[in-house]
Amino acid sequence: MHYDVFNGDADGIIALLQLRKAEPKTSKLITGVKRDIKLLKQVAAQSDVSGVTVLDISMEKNTDALYELIERDIPVFYCDHHRTGEVPQANNFTALVNLDAQICTSLLINQHLAGRYAEWAVAGAYGDNLFASAEALADQVGLNAEQREFLKELGTLINYNGYGATVEDLHIPPAELFVQLMQYGSPFELIQDQASPYYVLKQGYEADSAHLAVLNPLENSDIAEVYELPCEAWARRISGVFGNALANQSPDKAHAVLTLNQNQQDYTVSVRAPLNNRTGADEVCTQFPTGGGRKAAAGINQLPTSAKQEFIQKLESFYS
Q: Write the DSSP assignment of 243-280 as a string of letters.
A: HHHHHHHSTTSEEEEEEE-TTSSEEEEEEE--TTS---
Q: What is the mean pLDDT of residues 47-66?
A: 96
pLDDT at 35: 86
Assess contact for 92 and 66: CB atoms under 8 A. no
- 55 has pLDDT over 90: yes
Residue 292 pLDDT level (bands cut at 50, 70, 90): confident
pLDDT at 20: 98
Residue 293 pLDDT level (bands cut at 50, 70, 90): confident
CA distance 17 to 117: 9
Name the 3-class secondary structure at 18: helix
Domain boundaries in the chain? 2-202, 215-319
Q: What is the mean pLDDT of residues 227-252?
A: 94
Q: 215-319, what's its fold?
A: Diaminopimelate Epimerase; Chain A, domain 1 (3.10.310)
pLDDT at 2: 98
- Strands lying side by side in the sheet with 76-80: 27-30, 2-6, 51-55, 76-80, 93-97
CA distance 26 to 172: 21
For residue range 41-50, what is the model confidence (pLDDT) as tens digits? 999 999 999 9
pLDDT at 3: 98
- 294 has pLDDT over 90: no
Do 215-319 and 2-202 have the same topology in CATH? no
Spatial CA neighbour of 30 closest among 19, 20, 18, 16: 16
Assess contact for 271 and 284: CB atoms under 8 A. yes
For residue range 148-189, what is the model confidence (pLDDT) as tens digits? 999 999 999 999 999 998 999 999 999 999 999 999 999 999
pLDDT at 272: 96
- 91 has pLDDT over 90: yes
Q: What is the mean pLDDT of residues 120-124?
A: 98
Could you name the CATH architecture of 2-202? Answer: Alpha-Beta Complex (3.90)
Looking at 121-125, 137-141, 149-153, 243-247, which range is the least confident one? Answer: 243-247
> DSSP characters for 178-246?
HHHHTT-SSTTHHHH-TTSHHHHHHHHHHHHHGGGGG---SEE-SSEEEEEE-SSHHHHHHHHHHHHHH
